[in-house]
Amino acid sequence: MAIALLWQGEKKDGAIMENYVFLPERGFYKNKKTGCIFCSNCLVNGLESSMAKSMTGPRLYWQCANKECGRTIDRRASDDEGVVS
């Protein structure tokens, strides 16, 4: 399914998608220059919506900045590798 989503996004706006690499094992995209994490649901629809680090109780996760999406993905320590501050 992830491959189909990537293909649809490239078909829609290849210029945007060229700036990102999809990480299928994580379900999100990383910006090739900054390493920042972006929501795959939004990106394939042409909206560049970053994912922010969030925490609820003991749960650490990424949350889409787009209020209409709000997608969450559990965080891993390896997610921060290559991120430029």
Tens of pLDDT along 7-60?
333 444 567 888 999 999 999 999 999 999 999 999 988 899 999 999 888 999
| Domain-located, residue 84 | no
| Domain-located, residue 82 | no
| Domain-located, residue 18 | yes
| Domain-located, residue 17 | yes
Phi-psi region of 44 (alpha: psi -120 to 50; beta: other; left: phi over 0): alpha
Count of domains in the chain?
Answer: 1
* Dist. CA 20–CA 4, nearest whole Å: 16
pLDDT at position 4, please? 29
pLDDT at position 15, please? 77
pLDDT at position 83, please? 56
The domain in which residue 14 lies consists of 2-77
pLDDT band for position 71 (cuts 50, 70, 90): very high
| Domain-located, residue 55 | yes
63 close to 70: Cβ distance less than 8 angstroms: yes
pLDDT at position 82, please? 57
| Domain-located, residue 45 | yes
